[in-house]
Chains A and B, each alone.
Chain A
Amino acid sequence: MLLEALTLQLGYNATLVTVGAMLLGIAAGATGTFLFLGKRALVSDAISHATLPGVALAFMLMVAFGGEGRSLPGLLLGSAVTSAIGLLCVSALTHRTRLSEDAAIGAVLSVFFGFGIVLLTVIQSMNAGRQAGLESFLLGSTAGMLWNDAVVIALGGTLVLLAVLILRRPMTTVAFDPEFAAGAGMNVRRIELAMMGLAMAITVVGLKIVGLILIVALLIIPAVAARFWSHRVGHVVLLAGTFGGVAGYVGAAISATAPALPTGPIIVLVAFAIFLMSLLIAPARGVLAAMLRHRRFQAQVHVRQGLLALATDQPIYERLTLRLMKRRGLVRADGVATETGQAQAARALLDERRWQVLRSDPAHAEAAAHYDGLTPLDTVLTPDQLKALDQGLGPRATT
């Protein structure tokens, strides 16, 4: 069943949804990256909640003019208008008052959402039955998606993606260093507005599939997951788009296999699974890699201290140190040094003495900054410098 869904064999409607969700995921992942890099991730939360009154108002207007009230382009246009107003409110509250951005975001999202709910109850009392499905914008619903809706979503996603590709350079600069961007003659305010506008477009387009509360997830989670794998912006954007696309595709496919699996939440949970995997196993910034690095460092410290102890004929009590040194063939089971152990101990002691001399001499201040108790001195100094340094050591150490 799942295999059939993944290979798009569950029928026309499921295929539409799956492809639409994938396109949306790709566009959302790429767009969200710039928000995340600019430390603006939660602005999308305000944008998405501010769409609700627009959806409701558009519905009321369309009904007032004798329409059916449920045409998707009309509803999306309405949601775009109020979310743009919400965005302007966030910007005004942040720039003109003493409120910080997070407070402005929270105020806008709660007030717009509250007002939207007021409008929804008005619609409910207007005419029961006709508003059916309007509440599905809260959590997304794809069951009733038509060909026209799918075209709107696919087209919107593609357009946003194109805009991201065109604007990627200025957006990168502004996200990382707005002051430099301003110095380089860029119109920071306008580029920021474009960035927000793209996030808004994603939100509006995604309403039908993921719903207004969960669309935030598609903008944030793929970008955060992608950040673990690379520190180059281009790669992060590409990866985030891929992760978003995979989440949309796989999530929509899974949800197509059973009626009780709502599309929006499943897509979000797939994205979260990708995030968890990235958090754990990403090579440079992942938790597992950090743990291995820590273990290696710990082992290095213990072995070094053990060697120094051997060289000065002190007994080693630390169990971990003994175990590590045994495993490397430096000491025998009874704690007596082997031949390699003695040789390495002598070398460690020499290294430590050299470091002491080096560090007591102000002339070597620059090299001394490399001292961490682990780095061998011959990786810092040239052989000639070492020889010169050795003249400062006592006769015992050099023999």
Chain B
Amino acid sequence: MTGAEFVPLSLPPLVIGICAAIACAVPGNFLLLRKQALIGDAISHVVLPGIVLAFLVTGTLSAWPMMIGAGIAALVAVGLIEAVRRLGRIEPGAAMGVVFTAMFAGGVLLLEQSDTSSVHLDVEHALYGNLESLIWLDATGWSSLFDLEALAGMPPELWRMAITTLVVLVMCVLFWRPLKLSTFDEGFAQTIGLPVNLIGLGLVVTAAIAAVAAFDAVGSIIVIAMFICPPAAARMMTNSLEAQVLWSVVFATVSAVLGYVLAGYGPLWLGFENAVSAAGMIATVSGGILALAAAFGPCRTRSGAPVEV
């Protein structure tokens, strides 16, 4: 394939996919270790009512109101889950299930009630995303990357996703030590005076930012898969947190690239005409990586656990 074809059609979705995968996978490592892996699932369901409400309030489909709406919905959900858990003395999983299903149902109802058929806002779009359609029409080849005029025509999702990824990575580097401490030994972290609850909240908010930004560009299915699968596979590879985060970034990148390529060209190789969903394929590839890691990873069992024969 030539640059003239690759750069406008495949480069932006690939970069966006990689950024989304990394932005979700890095905080996912900590969520996984804190047994909050399903927060990503909950967040990606509850942003729907936020997006619909933002559309109803502003009447436009522009990105910023939607992201703000989704962010607010995510925060409301986290608060509600905590409130239900404490007020009702219910275990976290059930509290999460109650809140996210109810909010998702509310979102679907709002969507059906409001007249959104004229614009491109529907549940399937929210689930699958539209990675394939994020093309860069102004590009003519590799040289366009240095052409300011052409760069301005890049899909705006690319800049948003790149900035979000950068923010997530910087946050993780900045708060690395407190995060690590409070994740592994909350009691100790508290004793040496770390604001443990604040760190936990900050992590969830960072995850929500990553989820909301990625949701807009690539759909919720990638978000949920990237929060869990690359960190889970990485967990089977190593016992050190630093190495685990690096592995998860590698796995996330491989999932995004391989998934995108397989979705776009796999069916062609097999003799079919149409491409399949890139978002679905990226999730599928990440599952394949996880399966391999679970079968062969060097650290796949709990240390000290009896080996099943």
List chain A positions with a Cβ less than 8 A from chain B: 36, 39-42, 44-45, 92-93, 95-100, 102-103, 105-107, 109-118, 120-122, 124-125, 135, 138-139, 213-214, 216-217, 220-221, 223-224, 227-228, 260-262, 264-266, 268-269, 271-272, 275, 279, 285, 287
A100 to B33, CA, bound (A): 9
With a cutoff of 8 Å between Cβ atoms, the chain B residues found around residue A97 in the complex are 236, 294, 297, 300-301
Contact of B38 with A106 in the complex, beta carbons under 8 Å: yes
Q: Is B121 close to A, CB under 8 A?
A: no
Q: Is the interface of B mostly helix, strand, loop or mixed?
A: helix
Contact of A42 with B277 in the complex, beta carbons under 8 Å: no
Given contacts A45-B41, A93-B294, A102-B37, contact A114 B106 (CB under 8 A): no
Which residue of A has the minimal Cβ distance to B102?
A272
A97 to B292, CA, bound (A): 12
Contact of A110 with B221 in the complex, beta carbons under 8 Å: yes
Contact of A125 with B273 in the complex, beta carbons under 8 Å: yes
Q: Is B10 close to A, CB under 8 A?
A: no
What's the minimum C-beta distance from A100 to chain B, rounded to whole angstroms?
5
Which residue of B has the minimal Cβ distance to A52?
B280
With a cutoff of 8 Å between Cβ atoms, the chain B residues found around residue A265 in the complex are 104-106, 108-109, 112
27 A-B residue pairs with Cβ-Cβ distance under 8 Å, sorted by A, are A41-B94, A42-B97, A44-B97, A95-B308, A98-B303, A102-B37, A102-B38, A106-B37, A107-B228, A110-B221, A110-B283, A110-B286, A111-B283, A113-B280, A118-B280, A118-B281, A118-B284, A122-B272, A122-B276, A220-B94, A220-B101, A224-B95, A262-B108, A265-B109, A268-B105, A269-B106, A275-B102
With a cutoff of 8 Å between Cβ atoms, the chain A residues found around residue B235 in the complex are 98-99
Q: Give the total of B residues in contact with A, Cβ under 8 Å.
A: 69
Contact of A39 with B91 in the complex, beta carbons under 8 Å: yes
What's the minimum C-beta distance from A191 to chain B, rounded to whole angstroms?
20
Q: Report the 7 A-B pairs with minimum CB-CB distance, sorted nearest first.
A: A114-B283, A111-B287, A117-B280, A217-B101, A125-B274, A268-B105, A110-B225
With a cutoff of 8 Å between Cβ atoms, the chain A residues found around residue B287 in the complex are 107, 110-112, 114-115
Contact of A98 with B236 in the complex, beta carbons under 8 Å: yes
In the complex, which residues 214-243 of chain B have their Cβ closer than 8 Å to any Cβ of chain A? 221-222, 224-225, 227-229, 232, 235-236
With a cutoff of 8 Å between Cβ atoms, the chain A residues found around residue B128 in the complex are 117
List chain B positions with a Cβ less than 8 A from chain A: 32, 35-38, 40-41, 45, 84, 87-91, 93-98, 101-102, 104-106, 108-109, 112-113, 123-124, 127-128, 221-222, 224-225, 227-229, 232, 235-236, 263, 267, 272-277, 279-284, 286-287, 290, 294, 297, 299-303, 305, 308
Given contacts A125-B274, A228-B88, A260-B112, contact A110 B224 (CB under 8 A): yes
What's the minimum C-beta distance from A9 to chain B, rounded to whole angstroms?
24
Most chain A CB neighbours (cut-off 10 Å) among B96, B98, B128:
B98
A166 to B90, CA, bound (A): 27
Contact of B280 with A116 in the complex, beta carbons under 8 Å: yes
Which residue of B has the minimal Cβ distance to A105?
B38
With a cutoff of 8 Å between Cβ atoms, the chain A residues found around residue B94 in the complex are 36, 39, 41-42, 220, 223-224
With a cutoff of 8 Å between Cβ atoms, the chain A residues found around residue B232 in the complex are 99, 103, 107
With a cutoff of 8 Å between Cβ atoms, the chain A residues found around residue B280 in the complex are 113-118, 120-121
The residue that B276 contacts in the complex, of A92, A121, A217, A260, with Cβ under 8 A, is A121
Contact of A139 with B37 in the complex, beta carbons under 8 Å: no
What's the minimum C-beta distance from B112 to chain A, rounded to whole angstroms?
5
Given contacts A118-B281, A228-B88, contact A260 B221 (CB under 8 A): no
With a cutoff of 8 Å between Cβ atoms, the chain B residues found around residue A102 in the complex are 35-38, 93
With a cutoff of 8 Å between Cβ atoms, the chain A residues found around residue B227 in the complex are 106
Contact of B93 with A260 in the complex, beta carbons under 8 Å: no
A92 to B300, CA, bound (A): 12
What's the minimum C-beta distance from B127 to chain A, rounded to whole angstroms?
7
With a cutoff of 8 Å between Cβ atoms, the chain A residues found around residue B109 in the complex are 261-262, 265-266, 269
A253 to B92, CA, bound (A): 32
With a cutoff of 8 Å between Cβ atoms, the chain A residues found around residue B37 in the complex are 100, 102-103, 105-106
A339 to B194, CA, bound (A): 55
With a cutoff of 8 Å between Cβ atoms, the chain A residues found around residue B228 in the complex are 103, 106-107, 110
Given contacts A97-B236, A228-B88, contact A139 B123 (CB under 8 A): yes
Contact of A98 with B89 in the complex, beta carbons under 8 Å: no
Given contacts A99-B232, A111-B286, A114-B282, contact A264 B102 (CB under 8 A): no
A39 to B91, CA, bound (A): 7
Contact of B105 with A272 in the complex, beta carbons under 8 Å: yes
Given contacts A98-B236, A98-B302, A279-B87, contact A118 B277 (CB under 8 A): yes
With a cutoff of 8 Å between Cβ atoms, the chain A residues found around residue B286 in the complex are 110-111, 114
What's the minimum C-beta distance from A37 to chain B, rounded to whole angstroms?
10
With a cutoff of 8 Å between Cβ atoms, the chain A residues found around residue B225 in the complex are 107, 110-111, 114
With a cutoff of 8 Å between Cβ atoms, the chain B residues found around residue A223 in the complex are 94
With a cutoff of 8 Å between Cβ atoms, the chain A residues found around residue B101 in the complex are 213-214, 216-217, 220-221, 268, 272
